[in-house]
Every structure is written in structure tokens, then in C-alpha cells.
Amino acid sequence: MAKQLKLNDYKQQIADVYNRRSHNYDESQWHLKIAHRLVEYAQISPGYDVLDIATGTGHVAIEVAQRVGSSGKIVGVDISTQMLTLARRKVEALSLSNVELQLADAEALNFPANSFERILCANAFPLMTDMEATLRQWMQFLKPNGLVGFHALADAALVGVVIWQKIFEKYGVLQEFSQPTATTADTAEKCHNLLERSGFEAIDIKTEQYGNYISLEEAKQRWTINSYPAPKFSNTLFQLPSEQLQEIKAEFDAQLEALVTEQGIWNDGTSFFAFGRKGKNSEQ
């Protein structure tokens, strides 16, 4: 791909993580399921123009392409060249002619105003650095009455991340983790408020309960998790002096051990599918 993106350190790390992870990304049934649910909720009709933010290997883009048909169009953007390469291969294998894939940062896009009926973002929205500004920007690209929809995980989701958060709080380690869902229990409300502050109307948050049991061993491996939403976590964590890091690692393991039940450790996946509508008469 000829185009090169100028990314800051944080985004370059994300792109690197997904470039490395791309070869087996499609083995994850979780991401496919979440993408599918988001598309189902998005009320897509034939002929729609849709923007798939952080398209990855194209889960949303491909399903939407099939739904909008030849009179519609889907544009997928991502910062990871390798994820896009896989998406492109799948699009070609399926002979889909209504999909356009672009290397682009979702927080610095450049589309004409009023371009899309739907803007969707599956499994990636919490990676955005300024979510409110980003949503405002995306709103400009929506046609009046168009819908934005994103997926976010609940506070209690992903056991490794939950324990990390507790430990970070305990040790007072600076945490720049910018999820709309962070810190309070009422996370659907946080998504709602974020969409409201960004100027969206008719906000609708669908909650779905997911989760599975994992072994203590698997949970402990999440210490070195190298993807969602790791770059910010690991950046902060691994800069600590090694003695403190060892202490924190011991605490991480101990907190996981305390969660073990007969079935294993519950790894929550409670998910929010958050939708907001651009006003019919919106000037944005």
C-alpha cells in the first residue's frame, strides 16, 4: 500500500499490535459475533452508504456490503495495513464491488458532510483517544437522520483488565485509559451521556450479557495481554521500577486466585450497543 499514515506513539502501537495479530484475528468468534450484532441493530436497508470505522479484517464491512447491495456502498477505514490486507482479500474472494477500504485514522477522517446513512464501529470505539470530539466529527459525515452505532464493554468485562484497573487505583499509577465505560457501574448511562454530549438524539443503548469461564492459568496470562486495550496499560505499567512491577504482578495473581470457582474464573463480556441519531434538521 503506497499511502503512509502519520500516527502518534499510542496509535502506532495500536497499529503494530493489530499488524502482529492480524494473521489469526479471524479465529476469534467473539469479534465476529459482536460485529454481527452491531450490524443487526443498525437497521441497514438496501442502497445505504455506510462507514465502517476501524474495519479490521472487514467483519462489519462485508456483512453490510451484502445487506446494502449494489445500489449501496460501504467504506471501511483502519490504521493497520495488515488488517486491511486481510479485509481486501476477503472482499475480493467474495467479489464484492461495493466495498472501499482505506488506510485512515478514525479520529482524523476527511469525508464530505452528509455522506453516510450509518456509521458503525465494532470492537474498537474504546481505543479512540477523544471520544466526544470523534463522535462530533463522525456526526458531520452522517446524513440528517442517520445513525451512529458503536460497541463498548462494561466495566466488569474482561477479568484481566478489571484486576489491572483495581491495582492501578491501589498503587496510584497514572491511568490514561479512556473508555466511555470506565470506573462506574452504570456504564450504559455513560455511553448514553457521551452520545448526548456529542449532540446525538434518540439515543438507544442495547445491553447484552455475555461471558465465559476461563482457567486461572489463562487469566494469569492476561498480565501480558498485547491487544485491546493494552498499549496504554502496558506503557504505564512497564515503565515502573522492576521491584514494584514484581509486587504488582504478585497482587495481580493473588486477586485472580481469589476469584477462582469450581468452573474457573468468570470472564465477563457484558456489552453495550450504543446508537444515536443525527437530527433531521441538523446543520452539522
Ligand X SMILES: C[S@@+](CC[C@H](N)C(=O)[O-])C[C@H]1O[C@@H](n2cnc3c(N)ncnc32)[C@H](O)[C@@H]1O
State the minimum distance, in angstroms, from the CB of residue 7 to ligand X: 8
State the minimum distance, in angstroms, from the CB of residue 98 to ligand X: 18
Phi, psi of 79 (to 5 degrees): -95, -5
Contact 58, 101 (CB under 8 A): yes
Query: Residue of minimal CB distance from ligand X?
Result: 56
CA dist., res. 265 & res. 216, Å (int): 6
Of 159 and 248, the one with the shorter C-beta distance to ligand X is 159
Q: Point out which residues bind ligand X (CB under 6 A).
A: 11, 14-15, 18, 31, 35, 54-56, 59-60, 77-80, 83, 105-107, 122-124, 127, 228
State the minimum distance, in angstroms, from the CB of residue 252 to ligand X: 23
Of 77 and 230, the one with the shorter C-beta distance to ligand X is 77
State the minimum distance, in angstroms, from the CB of residue 141 to ligand X: 14
Contact 248, 171 (CB under 8 A): yes
Of 18 and 164, the one with the shorter C-beta distance to ligand X is 18
Residue 269 half-sphere exposure toward CB, CA atoms < 13 A:
10
Of 33 and 220, the one with the shorter C-beta distance to ligand X is 33
State the minimum distance, in angstroms, from the CB of residue 78 to ligand X: 4
Of 159 and 256, the one with the shorter C-beta distance to ligand X is 159
Angle between helices 230-237 and 9-25 (to 10 degrees): 120
State the minimum distance, in angstroms, from the CB of residue 270 to ligand X: 17
Of 17 and 256, the one with the shorter C-beta distance to ligand X is 17
